[in-house]
Amino acid sequence: MSFMPFIGEFALAAVICTAALALIGRMSRARARMTGSGEGTAFLFQDFDLIDATDTARNLLQAGRNGGRDLDRLLDLLSPRFPALRQRIDAMRDGERLHLSSEATGGPESLAVARHGDMLRVTLSGGVDVPVRLAERALAREAEELRALTDDSPQLMWREDETGTVTWANRTYLELTARVSPDAAAQWPPQGLFDDLPGSGEETGPTRHALLPPGEQDPIWFDIVSRASGGHTLRIASDITSQIRAADLQRDLMQTLTKTFAGLSVGLAVFDRNRQLVLFNPALTELTGVKPSLLVARPVIDTFLSLLRENHMLPEPDDFNQWRRQLTGLEQGSDSADHVESWELADGRSYRITVRPFPNGALAFLMEDISSDKALKRQLRAALNHGRETLAAVSESVTVFSAQGRLQIDNAATNRVWTPIDGAETVDEILRGWRTQCQPSAKWQELEARIRSGRLSPKFTFTVQRCDGRSVRVTAHSSASGGAILSCRFQQGIHRPRTDRLHVSLPRPDEPALRVEP
């Protein structure tokens, strides 16, 4: 796990703590310098830079915040006592003077400001202790801000002396102390939360520690950094429980995936964004014949393909280098779709290869032995062709429908028994066409009802008469898949001409009968 984010958080917390703990010293030194000088408090600025000042003025400026332009630092000190001071000074013109007063605790204060070109003179009066009061108020305000920052921080912050006794702690530390030991929540100094910390005065990087509050099942994990500061030890602890749990979940997931991949019959090789092998399963070594020791060495993809080529596990393309560059272009993101190939090896085996790129630059290489699938397909294709040939040799009409009522197959005899029906694909459409070629019969409706309800066992047989006078025997029975098989053939010796198209002329009694000469 990377500690860079944590180190950044520690640096910020260390700055806050160090600044807060140094305020007391700054306040005492500021009071000593200012009360020991009897000079007035005057500043001379050119633009924003201080070019001259009395000793008391310089001491007052040093009591303010560090960093920034000199005039801005002074205005930060004076603005709480003189509202809108910054705006008033910005609005001053050349030669203009400004006089302000403030009723302060401990006595009145007055401020005189004069502008001459780019020069600005600021004079503070009201007694010798005016700079002291201003400095103390500025430092107190800064102390409150720093205290708020440390108390609102989610990190534990505390300071220990040489004996390991806690001499200062932020609110987060005290709240956790009350959570761990409710009976000792109000005592001072608070008890230490961690027993195995580095010794006092030692500076250490992040060390990991666990804390289990009473009545809870899962520990709280912390990374603790220690820094020596003026004979004391400043310690900052960051809660990393969520990171620990995420790492545990990731580890469990990887173990689950590893076990799953180990049981797959498909060979799997995963390459990271640096094109190095990071994961493979046992099936890959079985399918390729590459030794596991060579794969454990984490070869790059080019080396991996070369190993396959040496083991004769690659079909020899016309241009091996161009073919390899094609895969390289795929893995570099030139094509986001899967790349699928079928490899026909010299020993007769057939492999399906799938190369799948991922947006983060990773690449998955899957190898599947499809030799048995191809052999089965060849057998099925041969059996289907044989069935078609056998069906074509049958003299009677055979029509097969699926369980969904779609036409699956028929033979050539069907077009001899029935006139072909253009565009007919379903059993309803085909039976409707056959019915129009025959004289009316209720058997067609019964056949349709039996097919829809699946009542074709035992077989259903009936005879209909075509419009041309020939009789057709129709037999229907169920198929193994739940569909219907209809066989139709002409009835031998039964031919009933249609009388509506014949003109019969019978002889009169006095006429001789018609005789056909041989």
Q: For residue range 218-237, list pLDDT tens digits in order.
A: 899 999 898 887 778 888 99
Strand 363-369 vs strand 350-357: parallel, antiparallel, or unpaired? antiparallel
Averaged pLDDT score across all residues of the chain: 79
Tokens of 295: 């794969």
What does the pLDDT look like over 452-469, one tens digit per residue?
888 887 889 999 999 998
Percent of the chain scoring above 70 in pLDDT: 79
- Only one residue has tokens 């198929």, namely 479
pLDDT bucket at 329, cuts 50 / 70 / 90: low
**How many Cα atoms are found within 13 Å in the side-chain-facing hemisphere of 248?**
8
Which CATH number describes the domain made up of 154-243? 3.30.450.20
Q: Does the pLDDT of residue 438 top 90, yes or no?
A: yes
In 453-483, the DSSP E strands lie at 460-465, 470-478
Which CATH number among 3.40.50.2300, 3.30.70.1380, 3.40.50.300, 3.30.450.20 corresponds to the domain 263-371? 3.30.450.20
Query: What is the CATH number assigned to the segment(s) 4-148?
Result: 3.30.450
pLDDT value at 1 more than 50: no
264, 283 Cβ separation under 8 angstroms: yes
363-369, strands of its sheet edge to edge: 277-280, 267-271, 363-369, 350-357, 339-344
Which residues have a Cβ under 8 Å from the Cβ of 138 and sit 6 or more positions away? 63, 64, 65, 76, 77
pLDDT at 346 over 70: yes
Q: Is the preceding omega at residue 189 within 30 degrees of 0, hence cis? A: yes
**Rounded average pLDDT over 406-426:** 90
Residues paired with 109 in a beta bridge: 102
Output the six-digit token pair for 380: 């099925």
Distance of CA 491 to the CA centre of its chain: 71
Mean pLDDT of 336-359: 84
pTM above 0.75, yes or no: no
Average pLDDT rounded to a whole number, residues 96-102:
88
Cα separation, 474 vs 486, in Å, equals 7
Q: At residue 247, does pLDDT exceed 50?
A: yes
Q: What is the per-residue pLDDT for 16?
A: 52
Higher pLDDT, 456 or 512: 456
CATH 3.30.450.20 in the chain, residues?
154-243, 263-371, 394-500
Is residue 264 pLDDT above 90, yes or no? no
Q: For residues 311 and 345, is the Cβ–Cβ distance under 8 A?
A: no
**CA pair distance 11, 64, nearest whole angstrom:** 22
Per the structure block, which two tokens stand in for 104?
């302060």
Distance CA 340, CA 355 (A): 6
pLDDT beyond 60 at 56: yes
269 with 368: CB under 8 angstroms?
no
pLDDT, tens digit, for every residue of 120-167?
999 988 754 555 666 666 666 666 666 766 777 888 888 888 888 888
Contact 158, 173 (CB under 8 A): yes
Between the CA of residue 39 and those of 52, 226, 251, what are the distances in Å? 14, 45, 70
Cβ-count burial of 506 within 10 angstroms (0-12 exposed, 13-18 middle, 19+ buried)? Answer: exposed
The answer, yes or no, to whether residue 192 has pLDDT greater than 90, is no
Q: How far is Cα 249 from Cα 252, in angstroms, rounded to an integer?
A: 5
* Whole-number pLDDT of residue 27: 44
- 196, pLDDT greater than 90: no
User: How far is the C-alpha of 76 from the C-alpha of 56, rounded, in Å?
Assistant: 17
Mean pLDDT of 415-441: 91
CB 209 within 8 Å of CB 198: no
Whether residue 37 has pLDDT greater than 70: no
- Would you say residue 178 has pLDDT above 70? yes
User: Is the pLDDT at 217 greater than 90, yes or no?
Assistant: no
Residue 229 confidence (pLDDT): 75
Rounded-to-integer distance, Cα 338 and Cα 354, Å:
7
257 residue type, one letter: L
What integer pLDDT is reported at residue 4 of this predicted model?
A: 41
* pLDDT for residue 10 is more than 70: no
Q: What pLDDT, on the 0 to 100 scale, is given for residue 165?
A: 86
> Which is nearest to 77 in space by CA: 92, 58, 93?
58
d(CA 140, CA 146): 10
Flag whether pLDDT at 518 surpasses 80.
no
Inter-residue contact 275 to 363 (CB < 8 Å)? yes
pLDDT value for 120: 93
Contact 156, 173 (CB under 8 A): yes
Report the amino acid identity of residue 6: F
Mean pLDDT for 186-195 is 82
Note the pLDDT tens digit of each residue in 470-498. 999 999 999 888 889 999 999 876 555 44
DSSP-derived 3-state class of residue 281? coil
**Mean pLDDT computed over 374-395:** 81
Q: Is the Cβ–Cβ distance between 405 and 434 less than 8 Å?
A: no
pLDDT reported for residue 436:
93
Residues 186/174, Cβ–Cβ less than 8 Å? no
Type of residue numbered 189: P
Q: What is the mean pLDDT of residues 181-200?
A: 79
User: Element (H or E) spanning 144, and its range?
Assistant: helix 130-152
Name residue, tokens 């807060």: 20
DSSP label at residue 334: I
Question: What's the longest Cα–Cα distance across the chain?
Answer: 171
Least reliable range by pLDDT among 86-95, 171-180, 252-261, 315-324:
315-324
Give the span between the Cα atoms of 325 and 347, in whole angstroms: 26
Hey, how many other C-beta atoms are within 10 angstroms of the C-beta on 57? Answer: 24
Could you read off the pLDDT of 277-305 as tens digits, one per residue? 988 989 999 888 899 899 999 999 888 98
| Superfamily per CATH, domain 394-500 | PAS domain (3.30.450.20)
Closest alpha carbon to 353 in 316, 344, 271: 344
Closest CA to 171 of 190, 189, 152: 152
pLDDT digits (tens, 9 = 90+) for 100-112: 887 655 455 788 9
Average pLDDT estimate for 30-36: 40
In the block, tokens 């989610």 appear at 154
291: tokens are 């030794």
Split at pLDDT 50, 70, 90, the class of 432 is very high
